[in-house]
Structure 1
Amino acid sequence: MQPVELVCDESGYEGEKLIGTTTDVFAHAGVHLSAAVAAGCLAELRRRIRSPATQYKANHLQREKHRSALVWFLGPSSPLFRAAHVYLIDKAYFLIGTLAEVLLGPPGGTGTGWWQSGPDGGRAREVSDELYRRHAADGPEPAFLVAANNLMRGKDRRDLAGPVDAFFDVAGGSDGFRRDSAEALRVRLQADPSLSVLDPLIPALLRAVARWGDGGRPVTIVHDRQTMLPAERVARLQRALRHAGLVLTRVELAAAESEPRVQLADILAGTVRQIAQDELHGRGDAELLALARPYVDPLSIWGDRRSWATITGTARS
């Protein structure tokens, strides 16, 4: 079978730093269009917006004076309609679910599977729902989430004990988190520079291949230039996908300024991320939510039930 060529970009990405960032939502868009169709779509946006900017971004469409262009861009007459998807990650929920998977089991858990098990699967998801309700609304940088983020980040891999001590000082022992599992994770992060349990690009790329490579069809990903996709991390992704019967042939990096499909993926990720994040914070726009809904991946990682029901038109069980 000929590989599906999927062109991707993200919005709201700050690597493994999930708490205390400028965005609460990560979005990863995949676009399956020819370069010629993508160039035509960008030309139409330029005709409608008439900005002298050399490269359009999501914020051009998000201005109220360009709302009609955004409505067209997401609407059924757009070339993107039914030819693109957006995978959303509620950063706090992703962090908490990974924490539950890594620290509730014996040493060796890597936090790379709880979000694939479906909305009802696994003890980690059950615990993460409860922890999310307790901690995600504590403010922009609740101490528990900051400590959990620092524990599982690979930023200071040489510091084995500090992040563990800091986390358990905040968390205590009421949730059954295992200190030996936390210590084992820090050892693994130190030993393997390519290991990441918190990078949202990992579940996003896994899901992109699963969605577009259904039935075993190979997928080639063309991605905006990204330092977090070195060869060893791509190889790890390929092995995980092969284990699931899926094929990622390769990941190519492309410059947005010379690849119109990357520009479209960037704009789509940014606009849908902002629409979803506004709804997460209770200030959603009904018209834009309805337009974004066909693009949102139903297997996105999302903890807030109220906003998820509105974003997708369905309830998360």
Structure 2
Amino acid sequence: MTATAPLVVACDESGNDGENLLSGRSTVFAHASVTVAPDDAAALMDEIRGRTRSQTTELKSKTILQPRHQATAKWLLSHPSLEGCASVHLTHKKYFVVSKLFDSTAEELAHELGDDIYETGAALAGANLLFFLAPQSYGTAWDRLLMTFQRFMRAKDAVHAHEELAHLIRSMVTLLSDKDAVVRDVLGTVFAGLRHLGSLSKLQLGEGGEERLRTMDPLIAAVGATVRSWGSISGRPVEVVHDATKELTPVKIEWVKQFLSHPEGVAPSRQGLACELTDVRLVDSKEDPRVQVADLLAGTGRIVGESMVSEHQHPLSPSLIPMVSGASLWPIPGNMNVENARKAMLSQF
């Protein structure tokens, strides 16, 4: 039994296309979490209904994102009851794919050789180097390679996975033939680690397990980051109350619990950084005002994030940015430098 009462964190998401990260409806996935009390959340929702004159039973983010309700959205984002009690984890979907490609190949190879490139910052730097510089070196061929990797990860069976992996290898060989490409060495480490994709494919296909793990779904990573962040801030175990979603199955929840309790399994440098996820309760958002508040924040986060991708300043950006989690999966040019990347990794823990 847990000696310390868990911190209850209510969550919702916006912009999730599952593992279809490159050709879905949104370029950004947002996952919001709040630790406000139910009564405070209910009061917030009642006030927002009054301000927007909404008669709906469940007020969603699309209401406060209407231009005429922008003042209400700003009011919510700056409300005192959310200060220190709300967080928005943003995932840049294309960057997520690039990071997954690097981590599942180059990082796995380094791990095999006894090198912890999470600790040195090389893992984060490598992903950012590929994200920012590979398009300059390879143009649309780079986008096609990423799409091939996504198809490999989403393969329906082993035969399909094998075909897409063969296509990925051919594509990478073609890109590596350009000896003048500025990221050729980085891509070379990815190529050297391609053989590690076989074990990842088995997880994706559910071979030897109860179900497919779908590690390309940003929701799983976001839930893990949310628990780790709130656990670190509070020093307490975390209980998640989440809007019902079919992806948070008992098997996946158990997988997240194990990952969080034994982070050293990913990298030795994470020894001692364990946190406890006690439970994930899936609820109907209509019945929990805390989840409704999280929905409003997630929807706002997605819209602001998409404006950042398109390099446009959204009117709500200044109000939302203070809530954005430092663990968000977002490309940062400065993190192409290994030392900057190392400091960024350390700041997350």
Q: Is the 8 A contact 1:108 1:184 kept in 2?
A: no
- Length-normalised TM-score, structure 1: 0.85
Instruction: Work out the CA distance in 2 between the residues paired with 1:83 and 1:154.
Output: 39
- 1:162 has 2:163 as partner: yes
For structure 1, list consecutive stretches of 5 or more residues without a partner in the other structure: 307-314
**Structure possessing the higher relative contact order (Cα contacts under 8 Å, 6 or more residues apart):** 2
- Length-normalised TM-score, structure 2: 0.78
Aligned to 1:299: 327
Instruction: Work out the CA distance in 1 between the residues paired with 2:159 and 2:287.
Output: 39
3-state SS, counterpart of residue 2 of structure 1: coil
- 1:182 has 2:197 as partner: yes
In terms of fraction of residues, the more helix-rich structure is 2
Q: CA deviation at 1:144?
A: 2.0
Give the one of 293, 297, 303 matched to 1:264: 293
Instruction: Work out the CA distance in 2 between the residues paired with 1:278 and 1:106.
Output: 34
Aligned to 1:310: none
- 1:249 has 2:278 as partner: yes
The Cα offsets for residues 91-133 of structure 1, whole Å up to 9 and x where unpaired, read as: 1111111101212255798xxxx99x48x623x3222112111
Letter in 2 for 1:186: S
3-state SS, counterpart of residue 30 of structure 1: strand
3-state SS, counterpart of residue 21 of structure 1: coil
- 1:44 has 2:47 as partner: yes
- Comparing 235-244 with 253-262, greater Cα deviation is found at 235-244
Aligned to 1:55: 58
The Cα offsets for residues 238-262 of structure 1, whole Å up to 9 and x where unpaired, read as: 1111124211101000001111111
Query: What count of residue pairs does the alignment treat as equivalent?
Result: 300
Instruction: Work out the CA distance in 2 between the residues paired with 1:157 and 1:199.
Output: 19
Q: Is the 8 A contact 1:160 1:187 kept in 2?
A: no
Aligned to 2:81: 79
**Larger Rg belongs to:** 2
Instruction: Work out the CA distance in 1 between the residues paired with 2:245 and 2:331.
Output: 27
- 1:99 has 2:128 as partner: no
Q: Is the 8 A contact 1:135 1:144 kept in 2?
A: no
- 1:166/1:5 Cα in 2 relative to 1: closer, same or farther (>3 Å)? same
Q: CA deviation at 1:183?
A: 3.3
Q: Is the 8 A contact 1:216 1:247 kept in 2?
A: no
Q: Is the 8 A contact 2:64 2:73 kept in 1?
A: yes
- Give me the CA root mean square deviation: 2.8
The Cα offsets for residues 9-47 of structure 1, whole Å up to 9 and x where unpaired, read as: 111111122111111111111111111111111111111
Letter in 1 for 2:253: V
3-state SS, counterpart of residue 32 of structure 2: strand
3-state SS, counterpart of residue 7 of structure 1: strand
Q: Is the 8 A contact 1:276 1:284 kept in 2?
A: no
Letter in 2 for 1:128: A
Q: CA deviation at 1:268?
A: 0.4
Q: CA deviation at 1:163?
A: 1.6
For structure 2, list consecutive stretches of 5 or more residues without a partner in the other structure: 177-186, 263-272, 335-342
Instruction: Give matches, 1:183-202, under 5 Å.
Output: 183-190=198-205, 191=207, 192=209, 193-202=211-220
The Cα offsets for residues 130-158 of structure 1, whole Å up to 9 and x where unpaired, read as: 2111456867x931221121122364455
Letter in 2 for 1:261: R
Letter in 2 for 1:22: R
Q: Structure 1 vs Structure 2: percent identity of aligned residues?
A: 28
Q: Which runs of 4+ in 1 moved over 4 A?
A: 105-109, 135-139, 154-158
Q: Is the 8 A contact 2:224 2:260 kept in 1?
A: yes
Letter in 1 for 2:201: R
Q: Is the 8 A contact 1:151 1:164 kept in 2?
A: yes
